[in-house]
Chain A
Amino acid sequence: SQQGEEDPQALSIQEGENATMNCSYKTSINNLQWYRQNSGRGLVHLILIRSNEREKHSGRLRVTLDTSKKSSSLLITASRAADTASYFCAIDNYGQNFVFGPGTRLSVLP
């Protein structure tokens, strides 16, 4: 399966700390996307990184991609309580759909 696998499954940090979560995949990709899901809501797109890119930034978010290791990481800096959510990576493998991983549940404690 090309499903992305996020790691860790759950992460609990204090407000102001940085949060890092990882996504690994198995075959070549066109791009990789990160989404956030607040409890009881739909997914919201955060950032996309293409296979020929190594790093992208968006506000407090930093995403890296290492195609040789088939992995990506999402870093949230200076976390806030409002960042509490589940985070998913989605793989675009040149197919006709995206494949989502099981997600990382992030809890940011005040």
Chain B
Amino acid sequence: NAGVTQTPKFQVLKTGQSMTLQCAQDMNHEYMSWYRQDPGMGLRLIHYSVGAGITDQGEVPNGYNVSRSTTEDFPLRLLSAAPSQTSVYFCASTPGLAADTQYFGPGTRLTVL
């Protein structure tokens, strides 16, 4: 199993541009989530999904959209990038809400100029 994969690893955007961060998992996990990690802070939840077709907002959802058309994929869209969205983005999955652990992808380092 590849686990949780994220692409791209690095991305530089200009203010106002849009892009999609890709996340995929091959473990048939129902629950997937997106976090952002800023210096000196823990991970903050952006959006999550408890299954295909179901998404919900986390702590910091503004400026981001998600969809979950399949169990495997959970893309994160930046609608109009802003410098405040410069961060490292992590995707994670877990078998279900009561599962013991989250499995994290390697992260995408995004810089918005």
* Bound-complex Cα distance A108 to B50 (A): 38
Chain A, interface size category, equals: 20 to 34
- Determine whether the beta carbon of A42 is less than 8 Å from that of B104: yes
- Determine whether the beta carbon of A103 is less than 8 Å from that of B42: yes
Interface residues of B in 8-33 (CB under 8 A from A): 33
Interface residues of A in 33-90 (CB under 8 A from B): 33, 40-45, 48, 88, 90
Known: A97-B33, A97-B45. A42 touches B101 (CB 8 A): no
Give the residues in chain A near B104, CB-CB below 8 Å: 42-44
Across chains A and B, the number of contacting residue pairs, with CB separation under 8 Å, is 50
- Determine whether the beta carbon of B105 is less than 8 Å from that of A42: yes
Most buried by B among A31, A42, A96, A98: A42
Known: A42-B90, A88-B43, A102-B40. A96 touches B107 (CB 8 A): no
- Determine whether the beta carbon of B45 is less than 8 Å from that of A102: no
* A20 interface hit (Cβ, 8 Å): no
Minimum CB distance partner of B6 in chain A: A42
Q: Closest Cβ of chain A: how far from B5's Cβ, in Å?
A: 11
Contact among B33, B42, B101 with A48 in the assembled complex (CB-CB below 8 Å)? B101
* Bound-complex Cα distance A31 to B94 (A): 15
Minimum CB distance partner of B104 in chain A: A42
Known: A33-B101, A45-B101. A100 touches B107 (CB 8 A): no
- Determine whether the beta carbon of B97 is less than 8 Å from that of A43: no
- Determine whether the beta carbon of B101 is less than 8 Å from that of A102: no
Residues of B whose CB lies within 8 Å of any CB of A are: 4, 33, 35, 40-45, 48, 50, 56, 58, 90, 92, 97, 100-107
